Amino acid sequence: MKRVLILAAAVVTASSVGCANARYVQKMGDEGIVAIPNNTDVWPSYNRTEACRLIEQHVGPNYEIVEEKEVVTGTATTNNQNTNREATFNTDVPFLPAEKQTTTTTTTSRNLTEYQIHYRRKPGGPTGFPGPPVAPAGGPAPASGVVPAVHTEPHAAAPAAQPGGLPPPDMTGLGGR
């Protein structure tokens, strides 16, 4: 019996791990908005991981987050009613017990929210990857990996295509002066 309970607990735990809490709010072209209950990434829900999985399904692994924010989606109202009964003196029939009833009603409202992530595909080539950084002439690439553009001479016009073949490759900038 004990083994059956342990096995049942394991099955329930395993089936609850894959729950998807992320959803598309908007999906268009190369951008969209994904919503999750809150911006957390802990067991058992892994909300942030699920949101990133949806984003990658839509635009691939090369994306950027445009904006993240908590958004109010509605209001929840709760009404609580408490009744307090206490013994009191019976003025009509003094030898019989009496009771005094007091009812208190409390109404509370709170905003219902979700966390929304607005994303888009990063610009650059057909896969979205701009290519590896190239070190400028005269030194190594900076530690940030961002290389400033260096332009020293104007590019020559590309030669015309030759009949029956491709134009020769553009070799400007590769010369060893």
- Cα angle 20, 21, 24 (rounded to 5 degrees) comes to 100
What pLDDT digit, counting tens, does each position of 102-144 carry? 999 999 999 999 999 999 999 874 444 444 444 444 445 445 4
Per-residue pLDDT, 41: 93
**From CA 162, how far away is CA 60, in angstroms rounded?**
39
* Domain residue extents for the chain: 17-121
25-79 residue pLDDT tens: 999 999 999 999 999 999 999 999 999 999 999 999 999 999 999 999 999 999 9
Under 8 Å CB-to-CB from 66, ≥6 apart: which residues?
31, 118, 119, 120
